Every structure is written in structure tokens, then in C-alpha cells.
């Protein structure tokens, strides 16, 4: 990604209740319902698939518990309501539980109170931090619950550019192995995150014949707009993406802070002060809005792809595009889609000041987990071009961020060896022993920088 961003505040229509001005969320408090067993959630959270995982193993470890869990979720209306839980105060997040943000005061909630009331929307956006395993496990259990309530479900993925849609169709139809699928979508080139984070979602879609939709555009388009502005990119190179709606002022404020931070990291603040009127910042905003618009267009188009009732379209998208309704949801509303919901995973130690109405319809508090030895991760999203391997996004707190890697960097060398393929970066990081250092040379604007990634020792 060209930048770091996030936002969403969906429109509450499915419950037939009036929306809160400025947020689009319901004024009504969710009914609290008796919790169901968490057999499926426990099983999924213990399952880690490798890119070439055996499909029969997947069926044994996921499908059996899934069936039992879905039976418990399938008839929420038959579960008796309980008294409302107290408003969230100082302990604003309870690990492993939901918090409803549709009222003036956030309230603890359950999956049985949150998901049924949102299942009648047209679009549900599920956020993620791309390299967080538990975010994807939460997405899977949420989609499983929604699929029990809506048989007409479609899943859209930010990870895929539009051009690979035929490969997604073949995967869902059972025509490709996991290895063939990842190879033909050029996974390491177009996304670059560990495939095992997303494979359970892909497998769930395949075994249930749920259509998968490619939401993204080529990285080259976003980079071109960020470099020279939207007006300078010919229509023939825009992949059919229409001009985005002007982003909300708070979104622009957030993007300016990101832009200023990038300038500080480049050392630009020693020169003229960074200004909102700088062409570079205007291009930066254009790029983000175009990116949001591209994904919103595919989601909106899928709603009306077939005659008859609209399906439920679920978007698997980075939380930066969703928070507070500033990104994808804003563009969806401009396209006439208003029945939107946003659900976000958040760390259980997130400051209470950040958990406020308007952030999303509801958030799920992801519990902490003891660190276990695992393959090292750099914490970046990569893409390729004729120039080489580009850093599109850097995950907060990652080794890459700690080492000074920034979104927009071009990786030139690793350990003294020239780099031209994203797969080579993935392989180098995967094979790096714990407790060692990996020298890296990157090009940032016109500068060549020497960086060192220090991989922590195990133990």
C-alpha cells in the first residue's frame, strides 16, 4: 500500500432503526443473548495451515467442529434475551468478547447480539492487520456465523487485483490445488504476506462454494497517482476506476499526519515546512481515495450482479481503509450503497479513548497470546514492478518498522545480493536464523539507505 490508513462508520438500516447522525450506526442497544458454545472458534484458533496443507486434514480439523458451531448459531431468534450488560467503563474491552459501538456509550455485547442484527445489511466490512494471525481467525469465525444466517454470501478480498478474478473462480470450483492457486494469483508478487494467514479463509470459501471476489487494482496504478496525481494518469490506465468522492476532512487530517511522518522519516522537515498545499500531499490523498474507490466499486457491483435479492457481500480489508467510515464505506455511500456494517478486531489493550462510537458498528477484543517460536516475519506488504520490489505497507511494531523500513521504499539488496522478486525477499526472511542480522539496502526517493534488520533470538 502507498500509505497507512484506516476508517469506517456504517449505516444501520438492517434493524429498521433510525441511524445516529454522523456515524450511520443504530441508536438502539443490541439485545444480549445467551452465548453459544465456542467449539468452532477454539478449533480454528488452534489450526495453522501451511501453503500446501492437506485438504483432508483441513476437513477433519475444521469442518466437523464448524458444523456443530453453526448449528448453535443458526437460530438466534430462538434464544431468550437477557438483561443488557452494563456500559463499558474503565475496563472498556473484555478479551475474547465484542463491544457494541452503536450507542452513545460503548457496551459489552455477544456474537449472538451483534451478528444477527447486522446480517441483513448489504455489505459487511471485516478489518484486519494483515500480518496478525488472530485477526484472520476472527474473520473466519465471523464469516462462518454470517454464512449460517445468510446462504447468499460473497467474500471480497483486498489481497487480490481484479485481473486474477478467473483464478479465484477456478479455485472456488475446485479446479486448483492450493499450490496451483497461490502460484496463479502470483501471491508473493501481489500481496507478499504469509499465505497460511489467509488460506483458511480461502478453503472455507472453496468447501462451501462461496464466491470469492478480487477487490484491488494493480499497485502500479496507486503508485502512479501518488507520484504524479490522478489527472496525469490516462483513463486507459485507471482499470475502469471512476473518480472518487472527495474524502471527509477528518480522513484528510489523518492522511496529513501520515504524510508528515513520512517526510520526517525522510529528513524533509529540515527544509521547508510540510504543507497541505504541497502537490505531493494532494497526490497522496488522491491515491488513497482511488484505492478506497476501487474496492468500493467492486463491492457495489457485486450487489447487483444477478437478478433477484441482493447477496450479503463481505469485504476482507485492512482496518486502515475502514475505521470511522472515512475510506471504503464513504465511497460505497457515494455509489448509493448505504446498508453497510463494519466490524473490527482490536487488541485487548487498546486505550479506551480509541474505542468510541463511530469507529465501527462493533469491535472484537483479540486476547493476548504467549509468543511461540515461529518463522520470522519482516512485517511488510510487497509488490513488484519493472523497477524491482516495492514496500507497500509496514505493519506497526514489526521488525521492518523497528529497522527503519518505510512504505514506498524500493528494496535493492538483501545481504549484499540484488533483489528483483518479492519471492526472494520472502525466502530470505524465512531462512534467516533467529538472533542474526540481515543487511538491507533500500532506495527512498533519490537516496540509497543502508538498513539492518535484527532478528530476535529465541528463548
pLDDT tens across 193-225, in order? Answer: 899 999 999 999 999 999 999 999 998 999 999
Q: Is the pLDDT score of 39 beyond 80?
A: no
The answer to the question of residue 132 being in a domain is yes
pLDDT tens across 10-34, in order? Answer: 333 333 333 333 334 433 444 333 3
Is residue 202 within 8 A of residue 185, CB to CB? The reply is no
Q: Is the pLDDT score of 124 beyond 70?
A: yes
Determine the pLDDT at residue 438.
Answer: 92
Q: 445 and 298, same structural domain?
A: no
Q: 433 and 341, same structural domain?
A: no
Domain count, the chain: 2
What integer best gives the mean pLDDT of the chain? 80
- Alpha-carbon distance of 313 to 300, in angstroms, equals 9
Determine the pLDDT at residue 180.
Answer: 97
Q: Which domain holds residue 181?
A: 32-219+284-366
Least confident span in 104-118, 263-277, 383-397, 411-425: 263-277
3-state secondary structure of 244: coil
pLDDT tens across 282-313, in order? Answer: 999 999 999 999 999 999 999 988 788 899 99
3-state secondary structure of 222: helix
Q: How confident is residue 84, by pLDDT bands cut at 50, 70 and 90?
A: very low
Most confident segment among 57-61, 92-96, 123-127, 251-255: 123-127
Q: 291 and 395, same structural domain?
A: no
Q: 345 and 307, same structural domain?
A: yes
CATH number of the CATH domain containing 305? 3.40.50.11550
Q: 438 and 320, same structural domain?
A: no
Determine the pLDDT at residue 375.
Answer: 64
Q: 126 and 72, same structural domain?
A: yes
Q: Is the pLDDT score of 8 beyond 80?
A: no
The answer to the question of residue 276 being in a domain is no
Give the CA angle between residues 201, 203, 209 to the nearest 5°. 105
Q: Is the pLDDT score of 73 beyond 50?
A: no
- Alpha-carbon distance of 174 to 79, in angstroms, equals 37
3-state secondary structure of 150: coil
Report phi then psi at 225, rounded to 5: -65, -40
pLDDT tens across 326-359, in order? Answer: 999 999 999 999 999 999 999 999 999 999 999 9
pLDDT tens across 44-72, in order? Answer: 333 333 333 343 334 433 444 344 333 33
The answer to the question of residue 1 being in a domain is no
CATH number of the CATH domain containing 415? 2.30.42.10
Element (H, E) at 212: strand 212-216
Amino acid at each position: 500500500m502507498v500509505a497507512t490508513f484506516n476508517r469506517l462508520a456504517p449505516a444501520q438500516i438492517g434493524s429498521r432503526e433510525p441511524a445516529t447522525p454522523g456515524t450511520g450506526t443504530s441508536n438502539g442497544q443490541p439485545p444480549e443473548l445467551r452465548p453459544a458454545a465456542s467449539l468452532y472458534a477454539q478449533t480454528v484458533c488452534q489450526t495453522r495451515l501451511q501453503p500446501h496443507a492437506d485438504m483432508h486434514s483441513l476437513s477433519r480439523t475444521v469442518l466437523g467442529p464448524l458444523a456443530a458451531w453453526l448449528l448453535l448459531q443458526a437460530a438466534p431468534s430462538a434464544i431468550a434475551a437477557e438483561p443488557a450488560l452494563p456500559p463499558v467503563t474503565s475496563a472498556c474491552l473484555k478479551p475474547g468478547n465484542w463491544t457494541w459501538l452503536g450507542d452513545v456509550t460503548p457496551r459489552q455485547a455477544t456474537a449472538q447480539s451483534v451478528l444477527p442484527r447486522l446480517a441483513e445489511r448489504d455489505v459487511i466490512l471485516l478489518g484486519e492487520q494483515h500480518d496478525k494471525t488472530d485477526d484472520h481467525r476472527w474473520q473466519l469465525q465471523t464469516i462462518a456465523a454470517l454464512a449460517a444466517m445468510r446462504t447468499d454470501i460473497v467474500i471480497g478480498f483486498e489481497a487480490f487485483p481484479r485481473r486474477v478474478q478467473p483464478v479465484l473462480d477456478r479455485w472456488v470450483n475446485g479446479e486448483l490445488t492450493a499450490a496451483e492457486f497461490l502460484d496463479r494469483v502470483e501471491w508473493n508478487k501481489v500481496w507478499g504476506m504469509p499465505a497460511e494467514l489467509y488460506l483458511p479463509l480461502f478453503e472455507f470459501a472453496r468447501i462451501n462454494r462461496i464466491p470469492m471476489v478480487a477487490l484491488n487494482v494493480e499497485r502500479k496504478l496507486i503508485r502512479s497517482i501518488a507520484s504524479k496525481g490522478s489527472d496525469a494518469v490516462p483513463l486507459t490506465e485507471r482499470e475502469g476506476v471512476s473518480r472518487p468522492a472527495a474524502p471527509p476532512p477528518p480522513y484528510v487530517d489523518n492522511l496529513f499526519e501520515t504524510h508528515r511522518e513520512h517526510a520526517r522519516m525522510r529528513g524533509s522537515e529540515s527544509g521547508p515546512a510540510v504543507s497541505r498545499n504541497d502537490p505531493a500531499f494532494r497526490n497522496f490523498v488522491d491515491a488513497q481515495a482511488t484505492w478506497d474507490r476501487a474496492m468500493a466499486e467492486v463491492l457495489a457491483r457485486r450487489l447487483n450482479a444477478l437478478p433477484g435479492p441482493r447477496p450479503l457481500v463481505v469485504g476482507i480489508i485492512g482496518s486502515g481503509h475502514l475505521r470511522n467510515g472515512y475510506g471504503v464505506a464513504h465511497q460505497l455511500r457515494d455509489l448509493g450503497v448505504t446498508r453497510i456494517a463494519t466490524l473490527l478486531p482490536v487488541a485487548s489493550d487498546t486505550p479506551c479513548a480509541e474505542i468510541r462510537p463511530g469507529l465501527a458498528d462493533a469491535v472484537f477484543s483479540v486476547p493476548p497470546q504467549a509468543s511461540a517460536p515461529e518463522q520470522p516475519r519482516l512485517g511488510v506488504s510487497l509488490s513488484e514492478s519493472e523497477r524491482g520490489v516495492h514496500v507497500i505497507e509496514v505493519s506497526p511494531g514489526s521488525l521492518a518498522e523497528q529497522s527503519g523500513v518505510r512504505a514506498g521504499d524500493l528494496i535493492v539488496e538483501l545481504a549484499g545480493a540484488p533483489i528483483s522478486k518479492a519471492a526472494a525477499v520472502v525466502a530470505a526472511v524465512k531462512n534467516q536464523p533467529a538472533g542474526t542480522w540481515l543487511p538491507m539496502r533500500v532506495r527512498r526517493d533519490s537516496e540509497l539507505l543502508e538498513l539492518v534488520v535484527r532478528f530476535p533470538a529465541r528463548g
